[in-house]
Amino acid sequence: MNYKFDNQDDVVVIDFEGDLIGEEKGPAIIESVNNTLNNNIIKCAVDISNVRYINSSGIGVLITLLTKFRNKGGEVVIVNPSEHVKKLLVITKLNAIFTIVDTIAQAKEELNKN
């Protein structure tokens, strides 16, 4: 799995690519999130359009992201999950917890409502 953080205005866009299985890169991702929050950026768009597979550890990473941002008064929006990942979000009922949109532009719009 590869990922990158990109600060766009007052929103951090986290772009995941490959298999979101969390185990080896999870701690580095969380450290980057902590640095982002320490810079007072509390809005996050998680682009998972290039994620092929996600397991329970990957779901744990998404939940940790959401928890960390919400604890600082922020929010996380998931962008463009594949059909496979969408089904998993429905099965785990995470679609009721996360806002899911199709584009980064929609994510920014959603995040700037608050």
Digit-coded pLDDT (tens) for 68-96: 999 999 999 999 999 989 999 999 999 99
Could you tell me which residue, 9 or 22, shows the higher pLDDT?
9
Amino acid at position 93, single letter: K
- What pLDDT is attached to residue 41? 94
Whether the CA torsion 107, 92, 19, 68 is positive or negative: it is positive
The torsion defined by the Cα of 67, 12, 91 and 101, in degrees rounded to 10, comes to: 130
- What pLDDT is attached to residue 101? 97
Rounded to two decimals, what is the model's pTM? 0.92
CA–CA dist 100, 98 (Å, integer): 6
**How sure is the predictor about 56, in pLDDT bands with cuts at 50, 70 and 90?**
confident
What is the DSSP secondary structure assignment for residue 97, as one 8-state letter?
T
